[in-house]
C-alpha cells in the first residue's frame, strides 16, 4: 500500500463508522482535539515515535490517556492507530477525515493566507461571497504568512484566488514585458 493512501484508508473507515453512528460533527471535533493534544508536545511525539518503547506500552498509554475523555469510537480509533504503528499519520488522517465530512455535508474548505490577520468584516465579506459563488458552506481556516507583501490568497478546495500584491506586481511586469515600448526616434544614415 502506498504511504499516501494509508491516511485515506483509516479516515474512510472512521468516516463510515461515524456516519453509521450519526455523529460526524462530534467525531470530527473530538478527533481534532485528541490529535492536536497528541501532536502538540514534543515529548509525546518522541514517546510514540520511539522504536525503543514497547508497542504494547504505547497502546496502553494511548488508551489510558483517551478513555473517558473522548467517545468510545474516537478512543478505540486512536488506540488502533497507535497499535498499528501509524501515529505519524495522525495529522494526515484528520485532514482526510475532514475532506470526507466536507464531501458528505456539501462543504468546502477555505484557507485564507495573509500577512496580517483580516478584520471580521473582511472575513465575512470573503466568506459570504465565496459561499454564494461555490453554492456551499465553507469551513474556514486562516494562516498568517509574512512572505506575502500585502493582500491575501484564498484556497477553496482545488482553486486558488490570488489577490496578493506580489501576484499583481508580477502581472504588471508581464504586461510591460509583452508590450513593445518605443525608446526614442531611430535615425538611419
Q: Within a domain: residue 185?
A: no
**Strands 137-144 and 151-156, sheet pairing:** unpaired
Q: Within a domain: residue 88?
A: yes
Residues 91 and 124 in one domain: no
Give the pLDDT of residue 8. Answer: 92
pLDDT along the chain (189 residues), means of 10: 77 91 88 87 88 89 86 89 90 90 87 90 92 89 88 89 87 81 59
Give the pLDDT of residue 16. Answer: 92
- Looking at the whole model, is its pTM more than 0.75? no
3-state secondary structure of 50: coil
Q: What are residue 125's phi and psi, to 5 degrees?
A: -65, -45
Q: How many domains are contained in the chain? A: 2
Q: What residue ranges in the chain does DSSP mark as E strands? A: 107-114, 137-144, 151-156, 159-164
Pick from 73, 102, 131: which residue ends a domain?
A: 102
Q: What is the dihedral of CA 9, 20, 79, 67, to 10 degrees?
A: 160
Q: Within a domain: residue 188?
A: no
Give the pLDDT of residue 127. Answer: 92
Looking up residue 170, the CATH number of its domain turns out to be 3.40.30
pLDDT tens, 150-185? 889 999 988 899 988 888 888 888 888 887 666 665
The domain in which residue 127 lies consists of 107-178
Give the pLDDT of residue 3. Answer: 54
Residues 146 and 164 in one domain: yes
Looking up residue 22, the CATH number of its domain turns out to be 1.10.520.20
3-state secondary structure of 149: coil
Give the pLDDT of residue 155. Answer: 92
Q: Within a domain: residue 54?
A: yes
Give the pLDDT of residue 89. Answer: 92
Pick from 102, 124, 144: which residue ends a domain?
A: 102
Amino acid at each position: 500500500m502506498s504511504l499516501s493512501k494509508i491516511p485515506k484508508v483509516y479516515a474512510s473507515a472512521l468516516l463510515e463508522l461515524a456516519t453509521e453512528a450519526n455523529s460526524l460533527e462530534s467525531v470530527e471535533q473530538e478527533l481534532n482535539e485528541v490529535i492536536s493534544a497528541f501532536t502538540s508536545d514534543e515529548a509525546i511525539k518522541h514517546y510514540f515515535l520511539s522504536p525503543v518503547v514497547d508497542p504494547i506500552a504505547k497502546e496502553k498509554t494511548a488508551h489510558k490517556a483517551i478513555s473517558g475523555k473522548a467517545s468510545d469510537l474516537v478512543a478505540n480509533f486512536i488506540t488502533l492507530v497507535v497499535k498499528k504503528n501509524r501515529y505519524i499519520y495522525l495529522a494526515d488522517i484528520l485532514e482526510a477525515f475532514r475532506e470526507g465530512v466536507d464531501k458528505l455535508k456539501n462543504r468546502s474548505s477555505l484557507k485564507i493566507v495573509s500577512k496580517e490577520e483580516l478584520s471580521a468584516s473582511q472575513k465575512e465579506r470573503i466568506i459570504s461571497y465565496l459561499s454564494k459563488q461555490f453554492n456551499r458552506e465553507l469551513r474556514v481556516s486562516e494562516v498568517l504568512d509574512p512572505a506575502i507583501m500585502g493582500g491575501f490568497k484564498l484556497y477553496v478546495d482545488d482553486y486558488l484566488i490570488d489577490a496578493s500584491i506580489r501576484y499583481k506586481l508580477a502581472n504588471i511586469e508581464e504586461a510591460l514585458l509583452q508590450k513593445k515600448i518605443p525608446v526614442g526616434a531611430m535615425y538611419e544614415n
